[in-house]
Amino acid sequence: MQPKAKFRKDYRAPEFTITDISLDIQLDADRTFVTSTLKVERKVEGATHLRLDGHSFDFLSLKLNGEPYSNVEKDNESLTIDVSAVADQFELQIETGLNPAQNTSLQGLYQSGDAICTQCEAEGFRQITYMLDRPDVLAKYRTKITANKAKYPFLLSNGNRIAQGDLTDGRHWVEWEDPFFKPSYLFALVAGDFDLLTDYFITKSGRKVALEIYVDRGNLDRASWAMESLKRSMKWDEERFGLEYDLDIYMIVAVDFFNMGAMENKGLNIFNSKFVLAKPETATDTDYLDIESVIAHEYFHNWTGNRITCRDWFQLSLKEGLTVFRDQEFTSDLWSRPAKRIEDVRLLRAVQFAEDASPMAHPIRPEKVIEMNNFYTVTVYEKGAEVIRMLHTLLGEEKFQQGMQLYIQENDGKAATCEDFVSAMERASGIDLTQFRRWYSQSGTPELTVSDEYDAARQIYRLHVTQHTPSTADQLEKLNLHIPLKVALIGETSGQKIPLIYQNESINEILNVTQEQQTFEFHHVNERPVPALLGDFSAPVRLDFDYSAEQLIALLKFADNDFIRWDAIQTLFNNELKENLARLQQGELLQFSEKFADALAMLLNNVTDPQLTALMLTLPKETEFAELFKNIDPIGIAKVREYLLESIAAHFETNFVQLYHINECGAYQVNAEDIAKRALRNVCLSYLAFTDRGEELVKAHYFAADNMTDTLAALSAATKAELECRDELLADFEEKWHQDGLVMDKWFALQATRPDENVLEIVQGLLEHRSFNINNPNRIRSLVGSFASQNPKAFHNADGSGYRFLVDMLIKLNESNPQVASRLIEPLIKLSRYDNQRQTLMKRGLERLKNLDNLARDLFEKVEKVLQ
Ligand code: TRP
Ligand code: ZN
């Protein structure tokens, strides 16, 4: 049977709802029994059949109003109960049996290490018991868990602990009640033995909230950063959004086996341990910041996601785009706003733009879904956040916050739609968002082509703007969007910012691009300007303006917008790469242009902001460069990129050495100043690795490091530059950390991205490594995922070996964990960007998958889209 698609347009309110659910769970890793008691209400008069979702468990019994009931029909994914002769309110009692230890999909109820936990978003609850498993059915939950006390001293669920007790057979029980109505995807349960870190937070209205973080035994010394992050998040949400926490307890549990980052279950977040655990010896600066932002993200969901949830899964961006926007703002307020912006834009350009160009292209509010797990994408999350950010730009902070208040007032306790959100923003601000709404329904990356014209005599400057959105796999016709374009004009010679004036009025720096072609005119422009376009990346578009190298250097020198300065150097890097790739393809010698060297020299000779300088000196990754091309030459890009690395290193060795020494830090501390210094110093190291002093310097750096940031920087530099010491360092690291999966993930990822010719052989060998475990998604992603997505040169090896390897892995994962398989397949479905030979080989791999007789719907949806 082929999986069937669901369409957004087919949404119907449910005929029945469930108001109360009481779960009695007899928990055991090998055999768990669940008794679910549901209070059901008929919502549509005359509705005769109640269809409940459920699969992957043993259905043991059903009672209707206390009596065994058999007027039902069961299929592979549901149970349909004939209730034609039943009153409008009735009670169902359902008994199921399941096996958490054998559930490798990590959805529903499963075992992680020695603990047992749940993952219910999007449709995992139905793997526990029959339920109206859809986000617009909001119920009150009461959960009683009974389990062996020695093995599972902690028994957790949502809400407040209301009772507990011991049994005589070594088991104990705990009962939980969640006072808030919630959809089934926010249900959670955890059982296990943990170390517990406790703290508290006093809310702005003076309530005391108990904070609890549960980690594997022995990891208490890695939990405090997460706790501090949680408190900062709670405080920030009160200050910036006026939002206060609502329960008396907030729990976070870190588990090792987890399909994604973390999950916002009401009052009981479950986290991938990667986003909780940190101490200086094991976590990098990036890890620290990632942990803080994921903790914040899940906490912010309590309002944007839980109190107000989604009506249906097509509305996912309602909670995800908004919550990502909120966590981005949090990080920007606490750390460096430009640095955060730059990192987010890099992700968007390299991954989201690529998704738009792939068979999986979809609007932030998808129209058609086969497997919902496939739509937790960079488009829904990151582009979704960009759409919220554009609203924020158009409305300004004050009106935006008024819109938030209205949205919350109107939708608290409900399951809402994206339209409810936009409508609240529109009514609160009085700004017409009719055209803006198209961002929700239209997929693809818009292109803005801009040209300019300067009339020196009349002091008039014009910008001609054209918008065009190329068609995408899911949608041929595109409409014009409402695009906020942030501009500044900078005097080409004076470097002065030129005020934006039309007639005699000053005009806003945000231009409203709404038509296919528009001209914006500026008056009293007394010198030829260089336009700084798309400041702060004011819209998720590709910008095409034919900047000369001189103009880019002027932006680099004079722009007051850090994003613009960073972007100017990006364009210089990109041009340098493109020109050299053309030379390479024509068999000419590669060249390092003087203009480019001038720009870098300027940067290196006056470093005022180490953080920004580090970002500006960072050479774009292969995957970032790849997005410059419709047809990607993975081998050529890798070659030219390495040439650029080496040339920059050789050219600026003295500068790098100097900066390397100036930016040394004292004992490791996580603060903005030190993070910035380490970042800059380690970028310098990554270049110096390619010089004659590389060997000595990198080795010394490795052995002097008192923290993972520096250790990993050295290890990475040694590997990328293929230094002699790299094997010694890799072995040293492995010996020290082989028991620690999270730390070994860094090592696996480095191995998988080695530039060595025989890297695939190395990766295949590592599948047998003592620290590797194919059932752990973090290990899979760092070894197999990094190879496929971060080592394009090896993955796209012309002999097809990279593709074959990935498909072999996918065939295994298709059975054990389809959700992870479906993320891993991404580089393979982007075949249309490569040459014919590669396309043929990639297709061959996809056909192997297609021919499996048990292809999971997750992979089916993607494979079908490519082969169509
Ligand atoms: N809602 C979660 C978040 O954004 C992500 C999520 C969705 C998830 N499905 C999941 C996490 C499955 C783990 C497993 O924070
Ligand atoms: Zn989220």
Look at residue 157 in the predicted model and tell me its pLDDT: 99
Look at residue 855 in the predicted model and tell me its pLDDT: 98
Which residues have CB under 8 Å from 789's CB, separation 6+? Answer: 623, 795, 826, 827
Strands of 89-98's sheet in order across: 67-68, 58-64, 89-98, 32-42, 16-26, 139-148, 171-182, 160-166
The stretch 787-804 carries a mean pLDDT of 98
Look at residue 819 in the predicted model and tell me its pLDDT: 98
Ligand having the closest approach to the CA of 260? 1
Q: Does position 713 have pLDDT exceeding 80, yes or no?
A: yes
The stretch 42-62 carries a mean pLDDT of 98
Tell me the pLDDT tens digit for each residue of 668-687: 999 999 999 999 999 999 99
Burial class of residue 670 in the structure, from the number of CB atoms within 10 Å of its CB (0-12 exposed, 13-18 middle, 19+ buried)? middle
- Calculate the dihedral angle through the C-alpha atoms of 774, 777, 779, 783, rounding to the nearest 10 degrees: 90
Q: Does position 667 have pLDDT exceeding 80, yes or no?
A: yes
The stretch 56-75 carries a mean pLDDT of 98
Q: Does position 725 have pLDDT exceeding 90, yes or no?
A: yes
Look at residue 631 in the predicted model and tell me its pLDDT: 98
The stretch 792-814 carries a mean pLDDT of 98
Q: Does position 665 have pLDDT exceeding 90, yes or no?
A: yes
Spacing, Cα 824 to ligand 1 middle (Å): 16
Candidate list 175, 298, 355, 627, residue with the active-site label: 298
Give the closest residue (by CA) to ligand 1 atom 10: 121
Tell me the pLDDT tens digit for each residue of 93-147: 999 999 999 999 999 999 999 999 999 999 999 999 999 999 999 999 999 999 9
- Angle at which helices 224-241 and 285-300 cross, to 10°: 50
Six-digit token pair at 417?
């739609």
Q: Which residue out of 185, 255, 263, 290 has the highest number of ligand 1 atoms within 8 Å of its CB and is therefore the one to mutate? A: 263
How many Å apart are CA 270 and CA 298, to the nearest integer? 9
Task: Look over the chain and give the mean of its residue pLDDT values, rounded to a whole number.
Answer: 98
Spacing, Cα 122 to ligand 2 middle (Å): 11
Burial class of residue 74 in the structure, from the number of CB atoms within 10 Å of its CB (0-12 exposed, 13-18 middle, 19+ buried)? middle
Percent of residues, the chain, with pLDDT higher than 70: 100
How many Å apart are CA 151 and CA 156, to the nearest integer? 14
Look at residue 774 in the predicted model and tell me its pLDDT: 98
Can you name the residues that pair with 155 across neighbouring β-strands?
191
Based on its alpha-carbon atoms, the radius of gyration of the chain, rounded to whole angstroms, reads 28
The stretch 383-387 carries a mean pLDDT of 99
pLDDT band at 159 (very low <50, low <70, confident <90, very high): very high
Spacing, Cα 259 to ligand 1 middle (Å): 8
Look at residue 721 in the predicted model and tell me its pLDDT: 98
More confident call, 868 vs 309: 309
Q: Does position 1 have pLDDT exceeding 90, yes or no?
A: no
Q: Which residue out of 260, 316, 318, 374 has the highest number of ligand 1 atoms within 8 Å of its CB and is therefore the one to mutate? A: 260
Is 298 labeled as catalytic in the residue annotation?
yes
Ligand 1: residues whose CB is within 6 Å?
119, 121-122, 259-264, 297-298, 320, 376
Tell me the pLDDT tens digit for each residue of 323-380: 999 999 999 999 999 999 999 999 999 999 999 999 999 999 999 999 999 999 999 9
Look at residue 2 in the predicted model and tell me its pLDDT: 87
The stretch 496-501 carries a mean pLDDT of 98
- Angle at which helices 741-752 and 726-737 cross, to 10°: 160
Spacing, Cα 376 to ligand 1 middle (Å): 8
